[in-house]
């Protein structure tokens, strides 16, 4: 990522560090060092070459800006990096310099270096998803019976509980955690194929070196090199898109519940947070805004990865290069949104009394479905629906409680006694299978390792 001050609004610092220029270069150098160890162990290069190569694989020894300028001419960073590494080794051990980068190609170093970065990135995602999972599960348990208006098309519909709403967020997060765990073994694999994916440069030792190199790097060993098969990268991008979209859903809900006229939940307060440069009274949903901004930006980045998939023959031209900046930006945005939502849910200010009060705003109209179903037992569904719809329109027009209008209707006379009316207009009695759904969601742990 860049040093743009705006990065701090959207990007988690620890994820930004994973994709910092120096980290990228060090990961590539780590692959070069591991390659020397693996090849020496397999008898491909002299053991005496390993130490000088490893000692030179320190990013502090290299000028990143100069490598970038050279990379503009070379087409990637690996080519000038290998040249600089070879020169560095030659200063201490001229004979060892001949064995730098033996049998590899630039894409092997770049892609395998990326896998080392992604190992760290996935661990950070798992950590923060676990943090958010814990906070959401606590919210679900605490507010499983906090009755509030369920809203469809932004209008009050029927009662729900805030715990159920939070359980929806939790269920989506746990599916994302399961997806990550299932994807990781497919994703975190070695890239080592030489010029065109045959490892002909290593002769009969190719597969043996590949196996040893994967062990050295702590990566899986794929059945074959994947230079132009980018589905692993795209799967990760699509996963990050799903995660960010689910976080965006959470942020959208919270932001709507923070509206002045609703005022049912609030982001955690902190000095200087959510204020306005013009209006002293404002408490803006700033974490939600940043999360939603990420959810707007991420789909386009995911689309770029999909667009880059049809790569040419054995090594791609342009598509592979398009991934280099897109994937880090995508993952940094997703991680930033995740961190923001974890912090928000941990300190979410929930006003259960306001939720309950908002159910009374419609003077009982939110219970119209319950009444129609009860009357339908005697009148039939269609007739009961028509009757309650007419009563609802009258109640709105006269600004009266639906219950009062109903008792005046001759069609309903004798069908709704006082006990029935009390039950039908109690939102807590019309939550259906809410507690079952909550319990099932809490039990449904993320799958995988």
Report, as residue numbers or ranges, the catalytic residues. Answer: 276, 315
On the 0-12 / 13-18 / 19+ scale of CB atoms within 10 A, 278 is exposed
Q: Please state the separation of Cα 151 from the chain's center in Å.
A: 25
With helix as H, strand as E and coil as C, how does 155-221 read?
EEEEEEEHHHHHHHHHHHHHHHHHHHHHHHHHHCECCCCCCCCCCHHHHHHHHHHHHHHHHHHCCEC
Task: Give yes or no for a contact between 89 and 53, defined as CB atoms under 8 angstroms apart.
Answer: yes
Contacts for 158-161: CB closer than 8 Å, 24+ residues apart: 158/366, 158/367, 158/369, 158/370, 158/430, 159/359, 159/366, 159/367, 159/427, 159/428, 159/430, 159/431, 160/431, 160/434, 161/431, 161/434, 161/438
E strand segments, 321-387: 349-350
Task: Give yes or no for a contact between 142 and 447, defined as CB atoms under 8 angstroms apart.
Answer: no
| Number of Cβ atoms within 10 Å of the Cβ of 211 | 15
Bridge partner list, 349: 266
Closest Cα partner for 146 from 423, 351, 346?
351
Q: In degrees to the nearest 10, what's the CA dihedral of 227, 189, 181, 2?
A: -70
Task: Give yes or no for a contact between 302 and 241, defined as CB atoms under 8 angstroms apart.
Answer: yes
Q: Which helix (H) or strand (E) holds 286?
A: helix 286-307
Bridge partner list, 161: 147
């Amino acid at each position: 990522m860049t040093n743009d001050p705006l990065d701090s609004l959207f990007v988690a610092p620890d994820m930004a560090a994973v994709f910092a220029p120096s980290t990228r270069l060090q990961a590539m150098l780590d692959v070069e060092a591991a390659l020397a160890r693996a090849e020496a162990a397999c008898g491909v290069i002299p053991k005496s070459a390993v130490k000088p190569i490893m000692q030179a694989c320190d990013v502090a020894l290299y000028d990143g800006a100069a490598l970038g300028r050279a990379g503009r001419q070379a087409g990637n960073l690996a080519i000038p990096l290998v040249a600089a590494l070879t020169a560095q080794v030659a200063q201490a051990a001229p004979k060892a310099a001949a064995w730098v980068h033996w049998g590899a190609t630039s894409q092997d170093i770049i892609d395998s270096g990326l896998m080392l970065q992604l190992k760290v990135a996935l661990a950070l995602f798992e950590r923060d998803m676990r943090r958010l999972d814990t906070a959401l599960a606590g919210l679900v348990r605490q507010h499983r019976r906090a009755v509030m208006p369920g809203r469809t098309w932004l209008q009050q519909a029927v009662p729900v509980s805030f715990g159920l709403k939070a359980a929806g967020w939790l269920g989506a997060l746990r599916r994302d955690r399961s997806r990550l765990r299932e994807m990781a073994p497919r994703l975190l694999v070695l890239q080592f194929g030489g010029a065109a994916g045959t490892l002909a440069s290593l002769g009969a030792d190719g597969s043996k070196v590949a196996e040893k190199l994967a062990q050295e790097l702590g990566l899986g060993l794929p059945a074959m090199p994947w230079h132009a098969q980018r589905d692993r990268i795209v799967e990760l991008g699509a996963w990050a898109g799903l995660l960010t979209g689910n976080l965006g859903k959470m942020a959208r809900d919270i932001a709507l519940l923070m509206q002045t006229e609703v005022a049912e939940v609030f982001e955690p307060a902190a000095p200087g947070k959510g204020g306005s440069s013009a209006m002293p009274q404002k408490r803006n949903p700033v974490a939600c805004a940043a999360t939603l901004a990420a959810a707007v930006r991420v789909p386009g980045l995911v689309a770029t990865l999909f667009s880059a998939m049809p790569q040419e023959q054995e090594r791609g031209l342009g598509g592979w290069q398009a991934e280099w900046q897109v994937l880090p930006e995508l993952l940094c945005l997703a991680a930033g949104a995740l961190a923001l939502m974890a912090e928000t849910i941990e300190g979410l200010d929930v006003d259960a009394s306001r939720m309950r009060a908002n159910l009374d705003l419609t003077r009982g109209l939110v219970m119209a479905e319950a009444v129609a179903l009860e009357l339908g037992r005697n009148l039939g569904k269609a007739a009961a629906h028509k009757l309650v719809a007419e009563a609802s329109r009258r109640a709105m027009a006269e600004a009266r409680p639906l219950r009062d209008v109903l008792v005046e209707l001759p069609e309903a006379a004798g069908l709704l006694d006082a006990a029935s009316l009390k039950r039908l207009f109690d939102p807590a009695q019309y939550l259906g299978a809410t507690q079952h759904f909550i319990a099932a969601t809490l039990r449904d742990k993320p799958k995988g390792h």
